[in-house]
Structure 1
């Protein structure tokens, strides 16, 4: 099969090449991938992967071989999938990590959902009900942040979106943000404390967000896009009264039900996929550069296009 494989000599660390067809294991089905998305964290780890490795986790396509144990969707079903090796024509994935796509959900948009959407959904669930509570989303202009704004607002929260560039404010307000604060200065000047933080930037943003927690509030650390260390001033982790908490996120097991929920919201128009770049995977170098240089508003989706037909005899 054709696949985007790790190539240390390529300018972006990836090239469109070939890899062995995956062989589904017990409880796995085989998906013919039509679209896949690129996550910044995955691109950041390419240098540590062996040449020829097929990366990616977010995919959408058609089931071509159902799971041998009878679990999961039948052949011919359009699905959203989350599993290693998604940047390829074929993906072997656990039947617990796929969800059928309802009518109204486009495959290309669905491919943008799995990792970022599932991360936000699960961290919000871990924080408990956010109805009527103040939810701060840092890095709100990124893919995870945009889903965070939408899902928190849909759950009844008062959403505060933190961005580095105020030009993103109107778009985030349209997605459900009630307040937009710009830069570290704007974050530190936030007038009221917050009850939940979806923190995606790390470094000084994490420290500033921690200082804004109300008694009993929680900070969910779900990313470190800024790449800077977080240095807490002495005594800053002590608060009188009900405990504040800082939690990590890493639960990506058996995500099928959550993918189904996200797909339903997408199909109904209640969730926007926020696809900011889309093109053939033959333009992978362009897509990777756009993600790394933060030129993509939302997610980058590559179309897994078939190879051109071979010329016939005498052509």
Structure 2
């Protein structure tokens, strides 16, 4: 038996192709999930060419679906439950995942919206937490029109911070004021006062400029690097009053934080932005739109046609 999946295929454009993998079998402490939706991240595009995921193996980190088989040890959601998951190999029709990788999706939250939560939502939630988000803090979010950025704007605003959303063009700022941004700026020239926290998703010269805006005692969370450009600091650029540049990567075992993101979405405090949606057979189109920064928010695949 086999199941379809988006796999690493070095012979395909961008090394991503639809293929077949062995039907998954749930091990101890695992669920078998039928995937209904999945969402695409820059990390998936990088994983296709970096060698981290071997040729023939499934890509993907974010998905939502229905539990086909509950965990044999009695932990986790029951069969038939709607769930969201954050785990390697999520771009497949069926996946076996650890109970610690899933959270139930509450009534009122669509599975497409749930699939848009994991990578970007976890990065925003955890980076702000790590930076010490609190009422009154000045928070700069770079690349604020992207998946992580939109979530960071909403979560920082909800925490009572003064939120500055930086985007690449005026059009990319659409909707950010409504999401909670107190200021929407193009680039960083419009930021006139120091900030306490930076959620930095662009990298390159943008990261250097954001570092220079950081107040003493502040924290820059380096969450992404969509520019693909090097960051070159001027001499003594990192010498001075204490402030912190933190490297960031999403860690697995995210059930509790996934449940928090679902709860906030159910309550209307977090609104997943879906800027592209279509069949996973159109993955090349979605990848091109993501690379070209033509997706406001998240790109979501429909894996199960009738969903």
TM-score (norm 2): 0.94
Structure 1 counterpart of 2:193 = 192
Mapped pair 1:258 → 2:260: no
User: Residue 40 of structure 1: CA displacement?
Assistant: 1.4
Distance in 1 between residues matched to 2:125 and 2:229, nearest whole Å: 26
User: Residue 52 of structure 1: CA displacement?
Assistant: 1.7
Structure 2 counterpart of 1:94 = 98
Residues 188-227 of structure 1 aligned to structure 2 (within 5 Å):
188-227=189-228
Mapped pair 1:10 → 2:12: yes
Please give the per-residue CA displacement for 1:2-42, whole angstroms capped at 9, x wherever unaligned. 11122222234322221101222222111110000110121
Q: Is the 8 A contact 2:141 2:166 kept in 1?
A: yes
Q: 1:53 to 1:246 in 2, by over 3 A?
A: same
Please give the per-residue CA displacement for 1:81-116, whole angstroms capped at 9, x wherever unaligned. 111111101111110111011100000111010011
Mapped pair 1:163 → 2:167: yes
Structure 1 counterpart of 2:275 = 276
Distance in 2 between residues matched to 1:153 and 1:256, nearest whole Å: 24
Residues 144-163 of structure 1 aligned to structure 2 (within 5 Å):
144-163=148-167
Structure 1 counterpart of 2:244 = 245
Structure 2 counterpart of 1:69 = 73
Q: Is the 8 A contact 1:78 1:101 kept in 2?
A: yes
Aligned partner of 1:125 among 103, 116, 129: 129
Please give the per-residue CA displacement for 1:38-88, whole angstroms capped at 9, x wherever unaligned. 101211231234332100010100111111222111111100111111110
Helix, strand or coil: the match of 2:272?
Answer: coil
Q: Is the 8 A contact 1:32 1:90 kept in 2?
A: yes
TM-score (norm 1): 0.92
Helix, strand or coil: the match of 2:13?
Answer: coil
Q: Name the Cα RMSD after superposition.
A: 1.5
Aligned partner of 1:59 among 49, 63, 68: 63
Distance in 2 between residues matched to 1:296 and 1:257, nearest whole Å: 28
Q: 1:198 to 1:229 in 2, by over 3 A?
A: same
Structure 2 counterpart of 1:312 = none
Give ranges in structure 2 of 5+ residues lacking alignment.
none
Please give the per-residue CA displacement for 1:196-244, whole angstroms capped at 9, x wherever unaligned. 000111111111111111121111111111111111111121224xx21
Q: Is the 8 A contact 2:63 2:86 kept in 1?
A: yes
| Bigger Rg, structure 1 or 2 | 1
